[in-house]
């Protein structure tokens, strides 16, 4: 069984005082708070784990039970230190759970959630009248787009690997003409429970995977699951001026839901390919241009074109030094979201000739400060 080590999550030991547990929680919660990490899915999950760990370790009774679970595990019979059950609610025997029986738990966090929600008198097998709908999983993808598309915007197609309702059985999981039966293990509820004295552990039924039904003969294409893994093309709109690492949410384009529930959402992180001519900094664009030594000394004028094909004449004054930057306003990124246009910054490089004749070298010396 995959377990969560709440002590490791908070970075504390079993002997850490309650006050130090609180300090560790406050520090980590502040670090991973969603407001400080907008759009960061990993930080959001970490924040939830930190809250879950603190809810257990900050409560003396829950912490005591958690420590006993860590010490004795889930296959302990109701004799010895566990006789009488958690909270002395009466004798019981905790049956040994096989690997297959742990399907759908998601770790000790889900077990404890069932424990503590039922704390104080919930006993026996809890039966529902039907399987509960379950929202489909969200899908997270990275999508690379050309630099020009990020500036000008447009339409794009993203290929999404996802669960697709089986076209052969229509999602029932049954072979053609076969009956769909109520699951004999969960009696159609989609969940099974174990009585633990004053508690009941509920979990997804491992036989029907939470659907509450099972086909008498499974569909040959989806093996009775009701869905297959496939590629779904999704058309998305790229807003002009979109930045690298921007996250786009497309509602309802994730995995299919269970028992009629809503599908999950699709989250796409946009990665912008680098451009050989332009570099983007915020809403400004940087372009490098090289001029001759004579142009730098005497001055000149050059034509500049931005990615939107807008042209401008840039006057280079006499005596311009290598590395000099000129700003052309309203020639940068057109940012539709912020209703602004950045600048085009021209970074000047001066070409210094390597092979000079003796006469050319003598001529250069005539206006050098050196004697």
pLDDT in tens, 207-216: 777 778 888 8
- 256 found inside a domain: yes
**Does 157 share its domain with 239?**
yes
Return the structure tokens found at 39: 């759009």
- 71 found inside a domain: yes
In tens, the pLDDT along 286-315 reads 999 999 999 999 999 999 999 999 999 999
**Does 44 share its domain with 65?**
yes
- 313 found inside a domain: yes
On the question of pLDDT at 100 being above 70, the answer is no
Tell me the pTM: 0.54
- 39 found inside a domain: yes
On the question of pLDDT at 177 being above 50, the answer is yes
- The angle subtended at Cα 255 by Cα 251 and Cα 260, nearest 5°, is 90
On the question of pLDDT at 255 being above 70, the answer is yes
- 270 pLDDT band, cuts 50/70/90, is very high
**Does 158 share its domain with 262?**
yes
C-alpha 204/C-alpha 192 separation (Å) is 6
Q: How many domains does the chain have?
A: 3
Share of the chain above pLDDT 70, in %: 78
Nearest to 66 by CA among 78, 57, 74: 57
Residues 283, 337: contact at Cβ < 8 Å? no
Return the structure tokens found at 260: 């009629």
Domain boundary residue, one of 242, 272, 302: 272
Nearest to 280 by CA among 251, 245, 314, 249: 245
- Look at the block and give the residue holding tokens 């109520």: 182
In tens, the pLDDT along 115-146 reads 444 333 333 333 344 556 778 888 999 999 99
**Does 266 share its domain with 301?**
no
Nearest to 96 by CA among 73, 112, 64: 73
**Does 240 share its domain with 263?**
yes
Domain boundary residue, one of 245, 272, 299: 272
CATH number at residue 154: 2.60.260.20
Per the structure, the complete domain to which residue 46 belongs is given by 6-88
């Amino acid at each position: 069984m995959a377990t969560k080590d709440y002590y490791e999550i908070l970075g504390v030991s079993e002997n850490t005082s309650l006050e130090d547990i609180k300090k560790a929680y406050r520090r980590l919660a502040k670090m991973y708070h969603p407001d400080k990490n907008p759009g960061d899915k990993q930080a959001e999950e970490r924040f939830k784990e930190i809250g879950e760990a603190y809810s257990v370790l900050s409560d003396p009774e829950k912490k005591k039970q958690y420590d006993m679970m860590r010490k004795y595990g889930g296959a302990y019979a109701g004799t010895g230190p566990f006789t009488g059950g958690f909270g002395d609610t009466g004798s019981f025997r905790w049956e040994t759970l096989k690997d297959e029986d742990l399907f759908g738990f998601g770790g000790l966090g889900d077990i404890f959630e069932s424990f503590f929600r039922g704390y104080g008198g919930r006993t026996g097998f809890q039966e529902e009248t039907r399987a509960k709908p379950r929202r489909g999983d969200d899908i997270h993808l990275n999508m690379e787009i050309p630099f020009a598309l990020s500036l000008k915007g447009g339409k794009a197609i993203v290929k999404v690997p996802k669960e697709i309702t089986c076209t052969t059985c229509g999602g029932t999981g049954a072979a053609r003409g076969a009956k769909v039966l109520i699951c004999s293990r969960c009696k159609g509820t989609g969940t099974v429970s174990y009585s633990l004295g004053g508690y009941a552990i509920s979990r997804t039924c491992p036989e029907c995977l939470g659907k509450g039904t099972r086909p008498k003969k499974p569909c040959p294409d989806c093996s009775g699951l009701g869905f297959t893994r496939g590629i779904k093309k999704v058309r998305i709109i790229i807003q002009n001026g979109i930045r690298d690492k921007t996250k786009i949410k497309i509602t309802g384009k994730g995995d299919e839901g269970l028992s009629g529930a809503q599908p999950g959402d699709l989250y796409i992180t946009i990665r912008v390919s680098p451009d050989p001519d332009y570099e983007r900094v915020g809403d400004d664009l940087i372009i490098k241009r090289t001029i001759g030594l004579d142009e730098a000394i005497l001055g000149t004028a050059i034509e500049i074109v931005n990615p939107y094909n807008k042209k401008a004449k840039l006057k280079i004054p006499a005596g311009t030094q290598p590395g000099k930057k000129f700003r052309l306003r309203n020639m940068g990124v057109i940012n539709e979201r912020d209703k602004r246009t950045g600048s085009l910054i021209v970074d000047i490089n001066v070409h210094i000739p390597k092979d000079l004749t003796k006469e050319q070298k003598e001529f250069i010396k005539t206006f050098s400060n050196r004697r």
